[in-house]
Structure 1
Amino acid sequence: MKRILIILIAAVLIGAGAFYGLGKFSKSEAKSVSTPKETATNNIPWIQLTRLDGSKIVAHDLESNVVLVVFQPDCDHCQREAKEISEHLSSFKKYDLYFISDAEMDKLSQFAKDYKLHGENNVHFVQATANDIFNNFGAIPTPSLYVYSDNGHLEKSFIGETPIENIMNSL
């Protein structure tokens, strides 16, 4: 009994630590990581994505300027980021935005409508498995945003909620 109690306490502490670690990112603390420009290889992950219409694509095969946004529909940080992106969508006109989540399709569709991103030609909502997201991006807070050039080179990443001005300056 004592051993089970110790295991339970350890699990709670690990879970609390993970929750605290993911929640400590705020707008002012969001990390921005630049990638050296010497490499021109395609860095877009080999992650399978399912569009709202059920068709499948592989992110690595995308051939334009791409912004990948890893998010969760019920995340308040993601909701604020989506609102800011929607309000400044003209700044993203040279990019295809892919909002990636493991949430159910109906939640993705509703999120797109709620934040006025549904029906925009350059905005796509796609689903991936939680395992694929973790294997390709690691343990990241949501939202996390990755900006790729037209040859698939990672130009900039923003881990955690980021002021829209910082994102727009990297486009």
Structure 2
Amino acid sequence: MKPLYFLFLFLGFTLTACSQDAPLNKDIPPYKILTSDSVYVTPANLKKNIPVMIMYFAPDCPHCQHMTMEITKHIKEFGNTQIVMISFVNPQVQFKALPKFVKDYQLQKYPNILVGTEGYTYVVQKFYQVRTTPYFAVYDKKHKLVETFAKIPEVQDLVKAVKE
């Protein structure tokens, strides 16, 4: 009976340790991203009293591309939400992919969307313990965490979270 107890205890710890839960820290991560305009941006650049949605993505990820299309299709429903799209990996490689991504999805048309890469720092990836992309984190107007989405959400779920 004891070995069975320890097996379940071990499985419980293992499954919880590997899950992609919301971060314990409810603040916006201390990112420093480089935009395709060669400008570094941090959370200090965010406007006060406006909700924030962070999308951790990869430009070559089909699910990320689909979610970007859905977000832009429903951009009016997000109101004035600041949408920060953060990618990862080598900035030189991303600088070929990021401008193309921005251009392909016409993201320059949306003043509330910012796209950049965190390069090799992985600050945001570690902060949220991201294992798959896209990953979303929604913050209220006081920039406190409302909800995270480790699985691909419906756009209406993102809109609902932003309005809470």
| TM-score w.r.t. length of structure 2 | 0.72
Q: Is the aligned partner of 1:55 residue 2:46?
A: no
Which range is displaced more, 127-136 or 45-54?
Answer: 127-136
Cα distance change on mapping 1:59 and 1:109 into 2, 3 Å: same
Q: Which of 44, 49, 59 is the matching residue for 2:28?
A: 44
Q: Report how many aligned residue pairs link the two structures.
A: 136
Gaps of 5+ in 2: 1-17
* Aligned structure 1 segments of 4 or more residues deviating by more than 3 angstroms: none
The answer to whether structure 1 residue 156 and structure 2 residue 147 are counterparts is yes
2:158 corresponds to which residue?
167
2:107 counterpart of 1:117 = yes
Q: Partners of 1:59 and 1:142 in 2: how far apart? A: 21
Structure 1, unmatched stretches of 5+, are 1-20, 22-30, 36-40
Aligned to 1:84: 70
Which residue of structure 2 aligns with residue 134 of structure 1?
125
Q: How far did 1:79 drift? A: 0.9
Computed over aligned residues only, the root mean square deviation of the Cα atoms, in angstroms, reads: 2.5
d(CA) in 2 for partners of 1:90, 1:139: 28
Aligned residue in 2 for 1:107 = 97
Q: Percent identity, please.
A: 23
Listed one character per residue, the Cα deviations across residues 87-133 of structure 1 (whole Å, up to 9, x for unaligned) are 10111222011110025123112112212322311111111024223
TM-score (ref. length: structure 1): 0.70
